Chains A and B, each alone.
Chain A
Amino acid sequence: MLVDARNLSLDLPDLGHHVFLGRRRALRILKNVTLAIGRGETVGIVGESGSGKTSLGRTLLRLYEPSEGQLNFDGLDITHKSPVALRPLRRRMQMIFQDPQSALNPRRTIGAILSGAMHFHHMSMPERAIAAILDRVGLPSGVLGRYPHQLSGGQRQRVGIARAISLNPEFVVADEIVSGLDASTQAQVLDLLSSLRSELGLALAFISHDLSVVRHICDRIVIMQNGEIVEAGNTEETFRTPKSAFTRELISAIPLPFPDAGWLDR
Chain B
Amino acid sequence: MNPIVEIQNLSASSPAGPILRNVSLSVSAGEVMAIVGESGAGKSTIAKAILSILPASIVVTSGVILFEGQNLLTLPPKKMRELLGSRIALIPQDPLTSLNPARRIGEQLTDGLRRRAGLSRSDAMMKALELLNDVYIREPEQVLKRFPHELSGGMRQRVLIAQAFSLNPSVIIADEPTTALDVTVQKQVLRLIRQLQRTHGTALLFVSHDMGVVAQVSDFVSVLYGGKVLEQGPTEVVMRRPSHRYTRALLAANPRYDLPDKRLMPVPDDLIEELQREVSG
Query: Residues of A at under 8 Å CB distance from B?
Result: 48-49, 153, 182-188, 190-191, 209-213, 215-216, 235-236, 239, 249-251, 253-260, 263-265
Segment at the A interface, from B45-53, B106-114, B179-187:
B179-187
A263 in contact with B266 (CB, 8 Å): no
Minimum CB–CB distance from A47 to chain B (whole Å) comes to 9
Per a CB cutoff under 8 Å, which of A48, A186, A190 touches B183? A48
Number of interface residues, chain B, beta carbon within 8 A: 40
B255 in contact with A216 (CB, 8 Å): yes
Which residue of A250, A253, A257, A265 has the most chain B CB atoms within 10 A of its CB atom?
A257
Say what secondary structure dominates the interface of chain B: helix
A265 to B38, CA, bound (A): 28
B residues less than 8 Å from A191 (CB atoms):
264, 266
A149 to B82, CA, bound (A): 40
Query: Residues of B at under 8 Å CB distance from A?
Result: 38-39, 153, 182-187, 190-191, 194, 209-217, 235-236, 239-240, 249-251, 253-258, 260, 262, 264-267
A residues less than 8 Å from B249 (CB atoms):
184
Which residue of A153, A239, A254, A265 has the most chain B CB atoms within 10 A of its CB atom?
A254
A235 to B261, CA, bound (A): 12
On whether A239 and B240 interact (CB within 8 A), knowing A184-B250, A213-B255, the answer reads: no
A190 to B263, CA, bound (A): 11
Per a CB cutoff under 8 Å, which of A209, A212, A215, A264 touches B187? A264
Closest chain A residue to B234, Cβ basis: A259
Given contact pairs A48-B184, A259-B239, a sample of 16 additional A-B residue pairs in the complex whose CB atoms are under 8 Å apart: A49-B153, A49-B182, A182-B38, A184-B38, A185-B266, A186-B264, A187-B265, A209-B182, A254-B183, A255-B186, A255-B187, A256-B212, A257-B212, A258-B239, A260-B216, A264-B216
B residues less than 8 Å from A239 (CB atoms):
257, 260
A residues less than 8 Å from B257 (CB atoms):
211-212, 215, 239, 251, 254
24 contacts between A and B (CB under 8 A): A182-B38, A183-B38, A183-B209, A183-B211, A184-B38, A186-B253, A187-B265, A188-B266, A190-B264, A191-B266, A210-B255, A212-B254, A216-B255, A250-B184, A253-B183, A255-B210, A255-B216, A257-B211, A257-B254, A258-B215, A259-B215, A259-B240, A260-B215, A264-B194
Minimum CB–CB distance from A177 to chain B (whole Å) comes to 14
Minimum CB–CB distance from B262 to chain A (whole Å) comes to 8
B residues less than 8 Å from A235 (CB atoms):
260
A263 in contact with B216 (CB, 8 Å): yes
